[in-house]
Amino acid sequence: MATAAHKHPNYMAIFWWLAILTVVELAVVFMPMSKVTIGVLLCALALAKAALVAAYFMHLKFETRTLTWIAFTPLAIAILLIFILMPDSFAVAKKTEGGKAAATAPAKH
């Protein structure tokens, strides 16, 4: 039963952490900071909360390391997808600008 002690971390402490981090997130939205800073802070806070849930509520911290790799795969795929889609996203923006320029140009004549 050596693992049984590991299996019951202090759940209430995790609950309070999650509650506090949620309040911090809400506070960050109203902080007088640049949009980029707020964005980075919010992403970091969300990932921290997700990590707490996975590590303690889902017991990932007390499982084999391989299970953590399985759990991380979707995150890696999602981030990869963002980079795959990024060039398309910029291409669309450029095309729209070009389209607008072409549409307004003949009106000048």
Partner 1 sequence: MSAATHASTHAVEAAETPLTPESWGKLGMWIFLAGDAVGFGVLLAGYGIMRASSSDWPNPYDALGINLTAAMTFLLICSSVTMVKALEWLGKGDRHRAINYLLYTAAGGAIFVSLQAYEWTHLIHRGLLINGNPWGASLFGTTFFLVTGFHGLHVTGGVIYLLAIVRWILNRPDPAASYNAVEIVGLYWHFVDLVWIMVFTFLYLL
Question: If we measure between CA atoms, which residue out of 47, 41, 44, 16 comes closest to residue 28?
Answer: 41
In three-state secondary structure terms, 30 is coil
Cα-based angle 44, 31, 55 (whole degrees, multiple of 5): 20
85 binds partner 1 (CB under 8 A): yes
Please work out, in degrees rounded to the nearest 5, the angle formed at the alpha carbon of residue 41 by the alpha carbons of 36 and 44: 125
Q: Which two tokens stand for residue 86?
A: 């990024």
Does position 105 bind partner 1 by CB under 8 A? Answer: no
Does 55 interact with partner 1 (rule: CB under 8 A)? no
Total site size for partner 1, rule CB under 8 A: 46
- The least CB distance from residue 67 to partner 1, in Å, is 6
Compute the C-alpha angle 66/72/73, nearest 5°.
Answer: 95
Nearest distance from C-beta of residue 109 to partner 1, angstroms: 27
Contact flag: residue 31 with partner 1 (CB under 8 A): no
Q: Which residues bind partner 1 (CB under 8 A)?
A: 4, 7-8, 11-12, 15, 18-19, 22, 25-26, 28-29, 38-39, 42-43, 45-46, 49-50, 53-54, 57-58, 63-64, 66-67, 70-71, 73-75, 77-79, 81-82, 85-86, 88-90, 92-93
